[in-house]
Structure 1
Amino acid sequence: MLDALTVAPLMRFVADIYPVILQSDLYRYLIGAGGTFLLINVLLSARLASRKIRQETPQARQIIREILTSLRTVVIFSLVGLTIAILANLGWLPVYEDPGQYGWAYFAINVVALIVAHDAWFYWTHWFMHRPKLFRWFHRLHHRSYNPTPWTAYAFDASEAFVNAVFLLLFMAIMPTSVLAAFIFTAHMMLRNAIGHSGYEIFPANREGRPLFDWMATVTHHDLPHARPRANFGLYFTWWDKLMGTEDPTYYDEFQRAVTRCALRTRRPAN
């Protein structure tokens, strides 16, 4: 229980820290999604034209809708972030400042554990959100972006945004986590999410036209559910989809089609 002597400093702490958290979440979205859009969809679009997964270009009104709904997601993420900060301030959550407090080996394990655990969380919550009775309440808004852009990364219903945001709070309650590890995790999450919605297959292929790193979810892997929302529920890795048999059977063909267009375009005739 909190007494009057605790509440007043806590309220001052909230007033000081929340603008910082909100600003951080907003900048992460604008820099992550906006930077990816600027680099891949604008500056490199001509060079990557042969790797464009779908030929049509999303309309401006779709992008505006995605940005506006993503701002709500930013607020929800920031409120969960504020909850983490309050619990840590009260000593109820094992969050620490010095990244080397438990040694750098622990720090590295902490970051990897965050990413791997989040992929599992994302897979199973994503799978449940695709159940017919839950889809309209959690995931329908995200799939309005049939042809996604990096701005789609945060275009969630409020319910889905909360489910995605609460992962970090739950993880931190289980494993002591440094502020830097959480920052690296959220930056990686934002970047992979934005790239996965970019619409250009930038992941490398082997000589057979299959993904060079088959354990990683390529752009095609994440783009397919927006065209056919029935499979490919992982975010960073393909492990769960392969294990549970939920990988789209056309995935390798679609990936090969994107990289083959690139190979045909860049191949020079023999002298």
Structure 2
Amino acid sequence: MFDACIDYATLARFAAGIYPFVLQADLYRYLIGAGGTFLVINTLLAGWLAKRKIRVEKPTWRQMGREILASLRTVLIFSLIGLAIAVSVRLGLLTVYEDPAARGWPYFVINVLVLIVAHDAWFYWTHRIMHRPRLFRWFHRLHHRSYNPSPWTSYAFDASEALVNAIYLPLALMVMPTSILAAFLFTGHMMLRNAIGHCGYEIFPARADGRPLFDWLTTVTHHDLHHARARANFGLYFTFWDRVMGTEDPSYYGEFARAVGRTSTGRAEIAPAGRPSE
């Protein structure tokens, strides 16, 4: 009955017409987010931030080239899921609307916050599951080839991991009608926090005692520790799940304090701790 109501030719023309714009948006998001972070933090401000460099060594150009190539595949996968969202909206299966004030500005603010908080939970649990030994090589090994990450690492996923990350948004849209602007802010925030988390310079502010000023947020050191040791610090935006589940690296505060120069031991140099696993 449902199939009989669909004009497949019109739907195909719609998909073909909108897909270049979806692909372009995902590509620009990565290039501006990762590339902009690399340009500003890792290049223009590198000298000024030198004392906040977490590792002495820098990612190699060969590594970054590999990351960009892998990220282009992720962009393609994300864009195909984006196309699926657009087609689903066209069919009335998902609700995405243009006017951000259509449901009131309080709903708009709550909408963006819920998308971010729920995504942090999605990321923590899927990320932690992907670290199980039987799943790691199929889902997450490529990302951890970047032991010393760069902003370009932010989308350097295996295809399977990219798909797991991509399906969050359509699942969220199934339960929460969302404006185009809210979705744009959510995906922009996701990209920027991801790129910053891999930049290798601790840019988050510290208190006088060397602890993070905003201790509920994951800092660059927090995620850098995950790339170095892989058995802790699974969160993306917030420290909540790692602390509730007891998966935060016990050396985190000490490493952060060294990264921001609040200890007498100098620059932080995070040591590896074995093969990535849970």
Where on the TM-score scale, by shorter chain, does this alignment land: which range?
over 0.9
Please say if residues 41 and 199 of structure 2, whose CA atoms lie closer than 8 Å, have aligned partners that are also in contact: yes
Which blocks of at least 5 consecutive residues in structure 1 are unaligned? 266-271
Q: Which amino acid aligns with 2:140?
A: H
Check if 1:202 corresponds to 2:203: yes
**Superposed displacement of residue 9, structure 1:** 1.0
- The equivalent residue for 1:41 is 42
CA displacement at 1:3 relative to structure 2:
3.6
Matches within 5 A, 1:219-258: 219-258=220-259
Contact 2:258 2:265 in 1 (8 A): no
Q: CA deviation at 1:262?
A: 9.3
Per-residue CA deviations over 1:112-151 (Å, capped at 9, x if unaligned) read 0000000000000000011111100000000000000000
Q: In 2, are the aligned partners of 1:100 and 1:107 still within 8 Å (CA)?
A: yes
1:144 and 1:262 map into 2 onto residues whose CA distance is 30
What displacement does 1:98 show? 1.1
The 1-side partners of 2:249 and 2:54 are apart by 15
Q: Give the Cα separation in 1 of the matches to 2:188 and 2:133.
A: 32
Secondary structure at the residue paired with 1:141? helix
Flag the 1:113–1:5 CA change in 2: closer, same or farther, 3 A: closer
Retained in 1: the 8 A contact 2:97–2:179? yes
Q: Structure 1: how far apart are the matches of 2:150 and 2:88?
A: 35
Question: Is the 8 Å Cα contact of residues 129 and 139 (structure 1) preserved in structure 2?
Answer: yes
State the identity %: 71
Report the CA distance shift for 1:84/1:8 in structure 2 as closer, same or farther (over 3 A): same
How far did residue 264 of structure 1 move?
9.8
CA–CA distance in structure 1, aligned partners of residues 251 and 202 of structure 2: 15
Deviation of 1:2 after TM superposition, in Å, equals 2.8
* Contact 2:203-2:220 within 8 A present in 1 as well: yes
Conserved in 1, the CA contact under 8 Å of 2:19 and 2:83? yes
Taking structure 1 as the reference length, what is the TM-score of the superposition?
0.95
Is the Cα–Cα contact under 8 Å of residues 142 and 155 in structure 1 kept in the other structure?
A: yes
Q: Normalising to structure 2: TM-score of the pair?
A: 0.93
Give the distance between the partners of 2:109 and 2:14, measured in 1 at CA: 30
Other-structure match for 1:139: 140
Alignment deviations for residues 198-248 of structure 1 (CA, whole Å, 9 cap, x no partner): 000000000100000000000000110111010000000000000000000
CA distance in 2, matches of 1:263, 1:102: 53
Q: CA deviation at 1:97?
A: 1.3
Give the AA of the match of 1:143.
H
The match for 2:274 is none
Question: Over the residues paired in the alignment, what is the CA RMSD in angstroms?
Answer: 1.5
Instruction: Spell out structure 1 runs of 4+ moving beyond 4 A.
Output: 261-265
Pairwise CA distance, 1:4? 8.0
**2:7 alignment partner in structure 1:** 6
Q: Distance in 1 between matches of 2:99 and 2:61?
A: 44
1:63–1:149 contact (8 Å) kept in structure 2: yes
Equivalences for residues 30-69 of structure 1 within 5 A: 30-69=31-70
* Alpha-carbon contact 2:146-2:227 (below 8 Å) kept: yes
Aligned-partner Cα distance in 1 for 2:250–2:235: 15
Report if aligned partners of 2:54, 2:259 keep a CA contact under 8 Å in 1. Answer: yes
